[in-house]
Amino acid sequence: MTNYQRFRKCGGLALLCVLLGTLCKTGCGQIRYSVSEELDKGSFVGNIAKDLGLEPQELAERGVRIVSRGRTQLFALNPRSGSLVTADRIDREELCAQSPQCLVSFNILVEDKLNIFEVEIEIKDLNDNAPDFLTEELEIKISELTVPGTRFPLKTAFDPDVGTNSLLNYQLSPNDYFSLAVKSVTDGAKYPELVLQRSLDREEKKVHQLVLTASDGGDPVHSGNLGIQVTVLDANDNPPVFTQPEYRVSVQENLPVGTWLLTVNATDPDEGFNAQVSYVLDKMPGKIAQIFNLNSVTGDLTILKNLDYEDATFYEIKIEAQDGPGLLSRAKILVTVLDVNDNAPEVTITSLTESVPEESTAGREIALINVHDRDSGQNGQVTVFVLGNMPFNLEKSINQYYRLVTTRSLDREQESEYNITLRATDGGSPPLSTDTHITLHVADINDNPPAFTHDSYSAYIAENNPRGASIFSVTAQDPDSIENAHITYALTEDTIQGAPLSTYVSINSDTGILYALHSFDFEQIRDLQVLVTASDSGNPPLSSNVSLSLFVLDQNDNTPEILYPALPTDGSTGVELAPRSAEPGYLVTKVVAVDRDSGQNAWLSYRLLKASDPGLFAVGLHTGEVRTARALLDRDALKQSLVVAVQDHGQPPLSATVTLTVAVADSIPDILTDLGSLKPSVDPDDSSLTLYLVVVVAAVSCVFLAFVIVLLALRLRHWHTSRLFQASGSGLAGVPASQFVGVDGVRAFLQTYSHEVSLTADSRGSHVIFPQPNYADTLISQESCEKSEPLLISQDLLVMKGDPNELQLRALELHSLSFETDYKM
């Protein structure tokens, strides 16, 4: 049955709590038990779970385990019962030899809290060994001349037990000549001596057989016997005597094998064979005979194997000097081993965390280590530190335990792995050191949003692109790892001209490639502003945005559009007026065209493609102005037909054409007469209608001249307004203000301040327009042209042929209305 004790030690005072089966905790964190030797494997030692304040099942959950260094494990933990048990049979004598107290110390680690508890177990001795003389027979030769009372030292018995179980007394078998005397010394050892009680007579008895019995004090008592054969000799009455009872020598542990330590010497005053002295090592248990050699003749003590201060610091060697007949004397050699710094510090990693998250704050435990140096004194003083400039530090725990902790928070993006080197150095000369390497991985957290390679992007795509075409690729980087670095791309929803942005472009969520879902038209959409979002897959996810400007590039996909002269909607042909008195370079009209493209694709050039009289007119290359190339002659035909081509500078170039009809005449009657002759009317009513209209034109002209002064003032004001409009308007402000005269669908420009009468011989309606003055170097905008709508002369005007006054009044009203319209423009 196991006996165990625990003691509380604080301030040097020891209190025995319980002798059997009782436990005490020490205020210093030490647990103590006692147990007898030779118990079976698995024998109960103590309830360690209870003493640690834990339940039995918590031993495994909290990682409770025994930590011992450099020694066979003698004890184990029973996780079911929570008790400390023996791991094997324990032999106290093998473990502690003859030490009065046998203590076994080890540590118990609670790994989840990195708590260390010291456990000390006292091994109690059992009387399991009998005294042993280490030899069965002893022969003593005694001269017959030996006087009674002479003492003869006998072999001592050895009992490895301690205390009451050790050697207690000696007994000698009954005889007539000898008695037993036991000599006790200060260290408690007992030496038996054979005492001669009366003189020997060799002739009576040559040999005496005795038995020496050694008994211990155990229960039951064990004993051992030594047979003593006393041979009676003649005249050797002096044993050898050593020059000193104790020899002392100090040696360093690193001495080579065979080194001489000292020489012992004993003298014998006898002569001859009785004075021949030989030296021997007294038979003792242990390894002394394997370590030292004593020369039997010279008495020289040498080393048989290397000494190790860490194994033994002191040796007590018992020696004997024996003369020829067998008399002997004893002495001691005390060998002190001096320490040499021959052991480097040992570093043991007791607990280790291989990975920590980068968000960990300073003071995070990484490992628990133990340092130890088998040397002593200054050679065994160990300092341990972290090599290099690293964010780690060592904090002292109990005894020689240290905690490796962080000194600041770690950043995986700066350093994802640390190779930590711990260096332990002793205080010897020269110092010895040991390096221990620890690899620590920094686990990633999602603390970095994706970052684009540029602050903003610009991309270009040609119009008329195919749907699904790749436009551009954006890239974002995330310094995190694994899923925290997996980036997906998306577009922020927006509207473009009332339509969702997603109908125009899309983005590949994995690659960041932007695709066109729409065929762009530069004339409708010239640029898009897109916001791209890059998000990682962390928890929670982080994101960042970048703006992308998508510009649509123009292509030459629009032909020039001729704004002036505009194609009439009533089937008539536009006619421009050129007086026969016009000088070379006279501005007849101007062709105005625009191109919906931009840049070079919208640069227009004009050229005369075809003319009825090729040398009569010329077209400005860049202005589109149609001017006379020479003076007009009487032989020149009244009607001149010109085909003007307008071409852009795209690749390939696109073009458009317009046909102009120029009437050559000096006055309105001339042109009317000539125009009438161009296409004679087949209807008498049409001729009458034309006559009345001519009368109306003449009447209106007279009235108009009366108001010319007022008109000039108003026109100056209107000219100022049109100049402002021309500065803010489009490039179409250069269209000349021409007027039309239409007969049989033909229109003609008048180049002076004149009214315009549109006469149609083949319809029942006519137009009268009072246009603005025409300047050769002034163009009106398209808007102005569109607002100069003709005034409709109703059928009632045509039937008032018999009332000239009323006709003049109606013409005056029409003129005023046209004047007001012009003013508003």
CA neighbor of 212 nearest in space, from 149, 135, 144: 135
* Nearest of 109, 106, 120, 121 to residue 52 by alpha carbon: 109
> 284, 158 in Cβ contact below 8 A?
yes
- 3 state DSSP class of 504: coil
pLDDT at 647: 92
In a domain, 324, yes or no: yes
pLDDT score, position 682 = 42
Residues 351 and 314 in one domain: no
280 plus 193 within the same structural domain: no
Question: Given the structure tokens 């030296």, which residue do they identify?
Answer: 279
Whole-number pLDDT of residue 726: 52
Of the chain, the percentage scoring pLDDT greater than 70 comes to 78
Q: Which pLDDT tens digit goes with each residue over 739-762?
A: 333 333 333 333 333 333 333 333
Residue 451 bridge partners (DSSP): 477
What CA–CA distances, in Å, run from 782 to 458, 742, 818? 36, 21, 18
H-assigned helices in 269-335: 288-291
Q: What is the predicted pLDDT for the residue at 704?
A: 66
Q: How far is CA 45 from the centre of its chain?
A: 51
pTM above 0.75, yes or no: no
Q: What is the DSSP letter of 602?
A: G
**Residues 155, 196 within the same domain:** yes
Contacts of residue 441, Cβ cutoff 8 Å, sequence gap at least 6:
354, 355, 356, 416, 417
Q: How far apart are the first and last CA of the chain?
A: 126
How many whole angstroms separate alpha carbon 615 and alpha carbon 17?
139
Contact 50, 43 (CB under 8 A): no
Verify that 455 and 439 share a domain, yes or no: no
Looking at the fold, whether 511 and 534 belong to one and the same domain comes out as yes
Question: How many structural domains is the chain composed of?
Answer: 6
Q: Is residue 58 part of a domain?
A: yes
Residue 31 carries which side chain, given as an amino acid letter? Answer: I
End of a domain among 401, 424, 443? 443
User: Domain residues for 486?
Assistant: 451-553
- Domain stop point among 421, 443, 465: 443
CA distances from 539 to 167, 415, 557 (A): 77, 22, 51
Q: Are residues 63 and 143 located together in one domain of the fold?
A: no
- Residue 159 shares a structural domain with residue 258: no
Q: Dump the DSSP string for 355-396.
A: EEETT--TT-EEEEEEEE-SS-GGGG-EEEEE-SS-SEEEEE
Annotate 173-205 with b (16+ C-beta within 10 A) or e (fewer): eeeebbebeeeeeeeeebebebebeeebeeeee
Q: Phi and psi for 230 in degrees, rounded to 5? A: -100, 120
Residue 4 lies in a domain: no
* Under 8 Å between Cβ of 793 and 692: no
- The backbone torsions φ and ψ at residue 193, rounded to the nearest 5 degrees and listed phi first, read -135, 140
Dist CA 67 CA 805 (whole Å)? 135
Is the omega angle on the peptide bond into residue 584 within 30 degrees of 0, that is, cis?
A: no
Q: Let me know: does 728 contact 752? Beta carbons within 8 Å.
A: no
Other CB atoms within 10 Å distance of the CB of residue 524: 11
Contact between 24 and 7 under an 8 Å Cβ cutoff? The reply is yes
CA-to-CA distance for 260 and 353, rounded, in angstroms? 53
Where helices occur in 580-651 by DSSP H, the ranges are none
Answer whether 121's CB lies under 8 Å from 32's CB.
yes
Question: Do residues 357 and 406 touch, judged by C-beta distance below 8 A?
Answer: no
CA distances from 507 to 396, 454, 472 (A): 58, 18, 9
Note whether 582 and 632 are within 8 A (CB). yes
Name the domain boundary from 216, 233, 250. Answer: 233
Domain assignment present for 305: yes
**Residue 749 in domain:** no
Same-domain pairing of 200 and 160: yes
Q: Which residues of the chain have pLDDT under 70?
A: 1-29, 69-71, 187, 234, 285-286, 568-574, 667-694, 704, 707, 721-825
Closest CA to 107 of 17, 29, 24, 2: 29
Q: What tokens were used for 573?
A: 């042909």
Which pairs from 92-99 meet CB under 8 Å and 24+ separation? 92/37, 92/123, 92/124, 92/125, 92/126, 92/162, 93/37, 93/129, 93/160, 93/161, 95/123, 96/123, 97/160, 97/286, 98/160, 98/162, 98/166, 99/162
Query: Tokens 């301030």 label which residue?
Result: 11
Listed residue (421, 393, 423, 388) closest to 407, CA to CA: 393
Any idea what the CATH number is for the domain that residue 365 is in? 2.60.40.60
Q: What is the model's pLDDT at position 423?
A: 94
Question: Is residue 621 a contact partner of residue 607, using CB atoms and an 8 Å limit?
Answer: yes
pLDDT at 460: 92
Q: Quick one: angle between helices 684-706 and 668-678, nearest 10?
A: 160
Total residues found in the chain within this entry: 825
Write down the pLDDT at residue 210: 93
Residue 506, classed as helix, strand or coil, is strand
* Owner of token pair 């029409």: 814
411, part of any domain: yes
Q: Considering the domain boundaries, does residue 756 fall inside one?
A: no
Q: What is the pLDDT of residues 494-525, one digit of tens each?
A: 888 888 988 889 999 999 999 998 888 888 88
Statement to judge: residues 183 and 258 lie in one domain: no
68 and 153 in a common domain = no
| Residue 736: CA count within 13 A, CB half-sphere | 24
Structure tokens at 398: 């109990």
Domain-located, residue 810: no
**Among the listed residues 616, 617, 610, 562, the one whose alpha carbon sits nearest the alpha carbon of residue 735:** 562
Residue 733 has a pLDDT of 36
Measured between alpha carbons, how far is residue 637 from residues 640, 658, 662 in Å? 7, 20, 10
CA distance 585 to 630: 7
Whether residue 373 sits in one domain with residue 430: yes
Shared domain for 290 and 220, answered yes or no, is no
Contacts with 711 (C-beta within 8 Å, 6 or more apart), sequence order = 704, 753, 819
Please state, in angstroms and rounded to a whole number, the distance separating the CA atoms of residues 797 and 75.
135
With tokens 């332990």, the residue in question is 424
Q: Are 600 and 650 in contact (CB under 8 A)?
A: yes
Secondary structure E strands in 87-177: 103-110, 115-124, 137-143, 151-153, 167-172
